[in-house]
Amino acid sequence: MKNPHGLISLLLLVISIIFGSLVVLSKSTFLGFVYLLILVISFPVIIYSFCSKSPCRYNNCGHILPGLLTKILPKRQTKEYTKLDWIGVLIPSLIIVLYPQYWLWGNKLYLLFFWLPILIGVYDIKRCVCPKCVNNYCPLKK
């Protein structure tokens, strides 16, 4: 593996999401399953909206797994991201992190356990994954 940070950052994000899911499920089974359904829908939307347009997706994906998942999604042309692409990334991402906040807010330790891995993961992406990325259409690329 050329850059383990792509996998490390994804694992940190997944840890937070699993923790948030468990907290929501422990408070409301129904709303916990709603959140799980949101996750099942959101991840393919994010990967389709962003990753499937990246030139890295076939053999140089810094995150490894999203690149592999693009192979089973409909093919898209590598080019600049549109407003619709950004909506497909931002709205699901915001829902993923904001949905469990109601249940996390009552316990500051829960908030810390949810947000700390996300912040470390995002920092790791920006610091260690983005500089090695060859997706010139990505706005995070300097």
Q: What is the DSSP string of 99-123?
A: TTHHHHTT-HHHHHHHHHHHHHHHH
Whole-model pTM over 0.85: yes
pLDDT of residue 135: 83
On average, the pLDDT of the chain sits at 90
Express as a percent the part of the chain with pLDDT over 70: 96
* 80 neighbors 55 (Cβ within 8 angstroms): no
Residue-wise pLDDT for 53-99, tens only, equals 888 887 777 777 887 888 888 888 888 899 999 999 999 999 999 99
